[in-house]
């Protein structure tokens, strides 16, 4: 399964266009524009599985900086500031990584 099986390619493209400039990425806005905020819990779990590059069950900071590239290989890398902000927002237990439950937070923010 790929992200385009769950999300519209045009919505993904619009979300990526919105955050092309460095330090313009907003997780909440990206989730809204891409359609992720409207997905069910099971769909979000599948998206999380796809985004979890090493299949560890968590998205760590090293993986998170490449978040946009999981949607399109030519997309930019998140800046250090964007990565830290994204991690802090979704890391609900403070362990330095995001579990599947952390991704679901953006559905409600």
Q: What's the angle, vertex CA 40, arms to CA 69 and CA 37, rounded to 5?
A: 55
Helices (H), the chain: 9-18, 27-34, 41-51, 61-64, 80-90, 100-108
Taking the C-alpha atoms of residue 66 and residue 104, their distance in angstroms, rounded to an integer, is 19
Whether residue 5 is annotated as binding a ligand: the answer is no
Whether residue 58 is annotated as binding a ligand: the answer is yes
Whether residue 56 is annotated as binding a ligand: the answer is yes
CB 96 within 8 A of CB 61: yes
Whether residue 86 is annotated as binding a ligand: the answer is no
Whether residue 62 is annotated as binding a ligand: the answer is no
CA distances from 57 to 11, 33, 35, 101 (A): 26, 25, 23, 11
Question: Which amino acids are annotated as binding site for Ca(2+), given as ranges?
Answer: 52, 54, 56, 58, 63, 91, 93, 95, 97
Which residues participate in the annotated binding site?
A: 52, 54, 56, 58, 63, 91, 93, 95, 97
């Amino acid at each position: 399964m790929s992200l385009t099986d769950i999300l519209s390619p045009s919505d993904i493209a619009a979300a990526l266009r919105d955050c092309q400039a460095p330090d313009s990425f907003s997780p909440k806005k990206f989730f809204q524009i891409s359609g992720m905020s409207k997905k069910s819990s099971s769909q979000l779990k599948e998206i999380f599985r796809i985004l979890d590059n090493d299949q560890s069950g968590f998205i760590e900071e090293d993986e998170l900086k490449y978040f946009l590239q999981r949607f399109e290989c030519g997309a930019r890398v998140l800046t250090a500031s964007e990565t830290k902000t994204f991690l802090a927002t979704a890391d609900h237990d403070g362990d330095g990584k995001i579990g599947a439950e952390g991704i679901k937070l953006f559905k409600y923010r």
